A and B are shown apart, each in its own frame.
Chain A
Amino acid sequence: MTAITDRQKLAYIAAQAADARVNVELETEGMTLNIGPQHPATHGTLRIIARLDGEQVISADPVMGYMHRGYEKLTEVRTYPQVTTLVNRIDWLGSFANEVPFILAAEQLMDIEAPPRAQWIRTLLFELSRIANIVLFLGDMAVQLGALTPVFFAFRDREHVLNQIESVTGGRFHPNFDRIGGLKDDLPKGWIAETKLAMEKIRNFCDEIESLVMGSEIFEARTRGIGVIPPDVGLQYGLSGANIRASGVDWDLRRDAKVGMVYDELAGKVWTHPDGDSFARFWVRMQETREATKMVEQLCDGLPSGPIMAKVPRIIKVPAGEAYVATENPLGEMGYYIVSKGDLVPFRVKIRSASFNNVSIAPWLLRGVYVPDIITILASLYFILGDIDR
């Protein structure tokens, strides 16, 4: 807490001083700048009311709810298999990853486990949706800073991954493929070889972005030291995923939470960066994409044979109980707190989405920064509005 109050105090004093100076010399006053709801940096409809003093932000107040769809209420009238269709639409860039924690929580309540092959394919698709999601970030971050080219590369190369997801699930964005006790279907023929080729292309894309963006002086100047999040503040706000790892916190649910996926059998490194600034967040995501491509290849090589569906009753009733299961989604920790009363429908589902916590730090983080840095910081926090508004 001390860190916050100090920083708040400093920002307040700076604002006061700036106020006094400006008022005396130029006879100006503070101004309110409305950013959004429609702004490319908001990935949807996030509105930010920034109170400015000159170029400096005195306070920033995110306003959301423009896209609130009430999923927590809707789940209460839908059966468990129907819920996956809804939760697909939370983080629409990595939709398969949204289904997994819900299914795992339901499986924990029912005390069943998916067969090994289903777990492997689940992990495989999970990592593919991570790549599809983060690849877009890598291009998007640059476009926020004024470099147009990388985002076209991102859209081009994301297609390789989406094609692979589509050929398994039938859906590019909303696979709805995960089932309680396993998966809907097995992999199609020839898929593994194609996936490996796609991973090669993604690694090339990462190299391209690295040479295009990360070496650029402008990019460094706009991101280094901008939006620094100290680890303890990040943890207090519940930041997760690459945002907290960029602050030097070594915390990855893939490695640290033992949930029904096969990360134990894979060799993967958890990347962290000590700086905690926008550059670090970009860098960590870049490394994670590379790491994910390697994991996908390991998953392709180690895929066991066997059934893809455990024995589950045709009409699924989940025994009474409570469960919280979270997984390391592309955007960070995504968890479902399910309360069941032994019914066809969940009694209460609390969706703990990553972006909600990741953006809740914005009022603290944006205080005292300059206007162009608002965009850098929001882009580097990387949120999807569907993931905030649910």
Chain B
Amino acid sequence: MSSSDATEVAPDEVATPDELRDGLLARLTELCGDAVIASHILPGKDIWVRVRNDAWAEVASTIRLVMGARYFGFVSAIDWMPSPFGRSMDAEVDKIVHGHVPKNVGEQTTGFAGGDTRFQVVCRVANIREHWGITLKADVADDAPSIGTLTKVYAGADWHEREAWEMFGIEFVGHPALRKLYLPGDFEGHPMRKDFPLLARIVKPWPGIVDVEPMPGAGSSDESAEAAEAAEGGEA
């Protein structure tokens, strides 16, 4: 289990964080070759690396065994599709105050280290000797999203992958028991997908701005006008 010692650096030798993360990226690229597609470094803060879908478990294994990131953070997913429901604030009174703004769905964008697909899988691991953490990302295909399991690399990925599977409908190939974790067994749909509405807001619609009491002493009309402006700006 001590193959991590190969890359061990004494804490004193860790220079400025930028060099540390540049070095990490260089080493990862050297080790994994073309499996690394893109990366993003926030100097002194964090690093994101996007890897090829079919090399997902392999890269994680390299990071754990060769680069010594033995600490497992989490596995999860991101649905980059803009929500067709917005904030589900459809109360009639809101429409009067804010005007009837049609929901601006907008373009699908992606975050750090880019991406080509609707779904991305995210994994966070850390090296507790050298004090760095890394966020790995991988694209998963839009139709029948699937990716290799990490449970053989990090045993703790088990529950995280079950959660991501039920919430996003991403299949983790090779997972020992892909069962529902939180949801009841007969639940249909994937609640964390953006096209799955927030059911609480549909069962009982958002009451709207009537629910908000004006601040004591404050001119309530100004407040609501400002709030309306802000909300409109936010929607755009």
Contacts and interface: CB of A to CB of B under 8 A. Distances in A.
Nearest to A333: B73
A107 to B, nearest CB: 12
A19 B84 CA distance: 56
A238 B234 contact: no
A249 interface: yes
A136 to B, nearest CB: 25
B70 A235 contact: yes
A356 B181 CA distance: 11
B158 A360 contact: yes
Is chain A's interface secondary structure helix, strand, loop, or mixed overall? mixed
Contacts of A348: 78-79
Nearest to A231: B70
Interface string A211-243: 000000000000000000000110111100000
A34 to B, nearest CB: 16
A141 B215 CA distance: 46
Given A238-B74, A238-B154, A345 B111 contact: no
A238 B71 contact: yes
Interface stretch (A90-98, A164-172, A179-187, A320-328): A320-328
Most buried by A among B76, B158, B181, B198: B181
Interface string B184-202: 1000000110000010110
Interface string A60-97: 00001100101011101100000000000000000000
Q: Give the residue among B46, B88, B159, B167 with the most A Cβ atoms within 10 A.
A: B159
A339 B76 CA distance: 12
B91 interface: no
Interface string B147-177: 0000010111011100000010000000000
A22 interface: no
Nearest to B227: A315
Interface in B33-90: 45-46, 48, 70-74, 76, 78-79, 83, 87-89
A47 interface: no
A70 B234 contact: no
A287 to B, nearest CB: 20
Contacts of B224: none
A387 interface: no
Given A233-B155, A335-B73, A343-B234, A324 B135 contact: yes
Interface string B74-110: 1010110001000111000000000000000000010
| Chain A: number of interface residues, binned into ranges | 35 or more
Nearest to B113: A322
B124 interface: yes
A324 B183 contact: no
Contact of B192 (A3, A4, A73): A73
A188 B188 CA distance: 51
B112 A322 contact: yes
Nearest to B196: A73
B225 interface: no
B128 interface: yes
Nearest to B152: A1
Contacts of A65: 180-184
Nearest to B109: A341
Contacts of A335: 73-74, 124
A237 B156 CA distance: 4
Contacts of B70: 232, 235-236
A4 B160 CA distance: 19
A294 B234 CA distance: 45
Given A4-B155, A324-B133, A343-B234, A350 B74 contact: yes
Contacts of A77: 87-89, 198, 201
A371 interface: no
A70 B70 CA distance: 29
Given A77-B201, A238-B73, A356 B88 contact: no
B211 to A, nearest CB: 13
A76 B156 contact: no
A4 B233 CA distance: 54
Interface in B205-236: 226-227, 230-231, 233-234
B76 A232 contact: no
A345 B234 contact: yes
A8 B79 CA distance: 36
A102 to B, nearest CB: 15
B154 A344 contact: no
Interface in A336-357: 337, 339, 341, 343-345, 348, 350, 352, 356-357
Interface of A: 1-4, 64-65, 68, 70, 72-74, 76-77, 108, 232-233, 235-238, 249, 251, 256-257, 315, 317, 320-324, 326, 333, 335, 337, 339, 341, 343-345, 348, 350, 352, 356-357, 360-361, 364, 389
> What are the 3 closest A-B residue pairs judged by CB atoms, nearest first?
A65-B182, A237-B156, A344-B234
Interface of B: 1, 45-46, 48, 70-74, 76, 78-79, 83, 87-89, 109, 111-112, 122, 124, 128, 131, 133, 135, 152, 154-156, 158-160, 167, 180-184, 191-192, 198, 200-201, 226-227, 230-231, 233-234
23 contacts: A1-B152, A65-B184, A73-B198, A74-B200, A76-B87, A77-B87, A233-B155, A235-B70, A236-B156, A237-B72, A237-B156, A238-B156, A315-B226, A315-B227, A322-B135, A337-B74, A337-B122, A339-B111, A343-B234, A344-B234, A345-B87, A356-B159, A356-B160
Given A1-B155, A77-B198, 5 more contacts: A70-B191, A238-B71, A315-B230, A337-B135, A350-B122
